[in-house]
Structure 1
């Protein structure tokens, strides 16, 4: 009963807060790099957050069995429809989704505030996330390897936090959202050219179903 009380308290507090408120590479190597970063971020949203899953499940409900795949199918379709032509990629990995958002579209150089031209895109993302609340989100910021390491770590975290705050302002429940700044640690291609560095500067939104 004590755990249930704690969960209910956390849910209540979260709902109150929510209411107030980026050389050529072989396909094999590139796939391994992408897998590494996806695995790292996915790990943050899985086994380490059992208690948080319980809280989210208590707040917005949870999925079970065949309902999981169908729920994520519908959410993937909705995201593809809303984000068509936006430059944001919707990637499916089993029952998880990932939105790849190029940083150059979203932020000015060395800035962490979202460009106003991208507000409609994030509004569309928020709309789908509100329509499919039985998911938890990890927003991951990434940079290239130019500049001081700690500066890039801080910038990637600030950009992830900016995306989180924008989504919360669009009524995506705060309890569902976490952020992580990875700096230059997980490039999807080697930082050996301007074109490659552009690909590595990105923000990813990892979307995972809350399962019973």
Structure 2
């Protein structure tokens, strides 16, 4: 659903980088300072939060870690201040284990983050989720450090151009 949501919005005129998006980026940079979470603007004008496994979820689990909860709470606050923005949450795993384990686990992680945001007042209709399992590694899965980097959650926030008009 997340890929469809992001694709449909992107195809419908693209995204803008508004003052609200910039304010949201600054707020998230402050909220995540020193946590290992990377906050950036993508080339297609989305806000991206790259949340590593040591912040987000334990190995083989989809329960939100205690140090991830305050980050998500601050994120929910910033989302509620920009109600036209949409969110896509993508869960990833390392290659340890089979696809039959990793694929559902990656979805479960994305859905856990979504459910937390919804519990903080963000409308569920604004949030799409996807699980990519181990299909999109960002590092070498043959090393522990690489596997740690590959276990992550990516959150994208977009403001469709039509919303800004």
TM over 0.5: yes
Q: Does 1:97 align with 2:47?
A: yes
1:49 Cα deviation (Å)? 4.9
Q: 1:141 touches 1:183 (CA, 8 Å); kept in 2?
A: yes
* Aligned positions of 1:37-56 closer than 5 A: 44-49=4-9
Q: 1:86 touches 1:121 (CA, 8 Å); kept in 2?
A: no
How many residues are paired up? 159
- CA 1:47–1:107: 2 relative to 1, 3 Å: closer
Please give the alpha-carbon distance, in whole angstroms, between the structure 2 residues aligned to 1:148 and 1:166: 27
Q: Which of 1 and 2 has greater Rg?
A: 1
Report the secondary structure of 1:128's partner residue. Answer: helix
* Aligned positions of 1:75-114 closer than 5 A: 75-94=24-43, 95-114=45-64
Please give the alpha-carbon distance, in whole angstroms, between the structure 1 residues aligned to 2:7 and 2:111: 22
1:100 Cα deviation (Å)? 0.5
1:71 Cα deviation (Å)? 2.7
- CA 1:49–1:155: 2 relative to 1, 3 Å: same
Q: Does 1:135 align with 2:85?
A: yes
Please give the alpha-carbon distance, in whole angstroms, between the structure 2 residues aligned to 1:69 and 1:127: 17
- Please, what TM-score do these two structures have when normalized by structure 2? 0.86
Q: Does 1:118 align with 2:68?
A: yes
Q: Does 1:194 align with 2:154?
A: no
- CA 1:49–1:68: 2 relative to 1, 3 Å: closer
1:171 Cα deviation (Å)? 0.5
1:191 Cα deviation (Å)? 1.3
Where does the alignment leave 5 or more consecutive residues of structure 2 unmatched?
Answer: none
Report the secondary structure of 2:161's partner residue. Answer: coil
Please give the alpha-carbon distance, in whole angstroms, between the structure 2 residues aligned to 1:210 and 1:179: 18
Runs (4 or more) in structure 1 with deviation over 4 Å come to none
Q: Where does residue 18 of structure 2 map in the other structure?
A: 69
Where does the alignment leave 5 or more consecutive residues of structure 1 unmatched?
Answer: 1-40, 54-64
Name the structure with the higher helix share: 1
Please give the alpha-carbon distance, in whole angstroms, between the structure 1 residues aligned to 2:154 and 2:37: 10
